[in-house]
Amino acid sequence: MIPVIVSAILVLDRLTKFLVTKELNLNSSVPLIKGVFHITLVHNRGAAFGFLKNQLPLFIVTSLIAIILIWRALKSNKYAKIYTIALSLILSGALGNLIDRLFYGYVIDFLDFRVWPVFNIADSAITVGAVILGWSILFKKEQK
């Protein structure tokens, strides 16, 4: 299950970023639902919401540590299925954004809902994984 989730998210993340960078110029936008949802190419040199701009070494080290810790947790295979899914989503998102930082020095973002900072598939995987993980911890039931 872990390789399937991680591979699927990584392929989707890389493919969408490739297509957007191929078709759009930096900071250009294409409305899909005018005023609601646009595809807007931005280069994020910070963390979420552009926080801590231009701290590339910090983001690379932090990402690598998180990836190693998550991978070790997943390898132990001692978690319930819901935790495995959540951690796999977070791992795939961290890997997707780390690839951008290593190759480009920034993260490629393009999903623009106009009321939220622009984000990407990797960010979505991290967020969904974190919500699932948080929900699972808050409403923990014995499951395996």
In a domain, 144, yes or no: no
In a domain, 106, yes or no: yes
Backbone angles phi, psi at 32, to 5 degrees: -95, -40
- Residue 55 has a pLDDT of 77
In a domain, 25, yes or no: yes
Q: Which of 13, 100, 109, 112 is catalytic?
A: 109
In a domain, 142, yes or no: no
In a domain, 113, yes or no: yes
Separation between Cα atoms, residue 66 and residue 60, nearest integer Å: 10
In a domain, 141, yes or no: no
In a domain, 111, yes or no: yes
Q: How is residue 125 written in tokens?
A: 């995987």
Separation between Cα atoms, residue 83 and residue 112, nearest integer Å: 29
Query: In which domain, by residue range, is 113 found?
Result: 2-136
Q: Which of 13, 100, 112, 123 is catalytic?
A: 123
Per-residue pLDDT tens, the chain, 144 aa: give them: 888 999 999 999 999 999 999 999 999 999 999 999 999 999 998 776 666 677 788 889 999 999 999 999 998 877 789 999 999 999 999 999 999 999 999 999 999 999 999 999 999 999 999 999 999 889 876 544
Q: Cite the beta strand spans of the chain per DSSP E.
A: 29-33, 37-44, 107-112
In a domain, 143, yes or no: no
Backbone angles phi, psi at 133, to 5 degrees: -60, -50
Number of structural domains (the chain) is: 1
Cα-trace Rg, the chain: 16
Decide if 100 is catalytic. Answer: no
Decide if 112 is catalytic. Answer: no
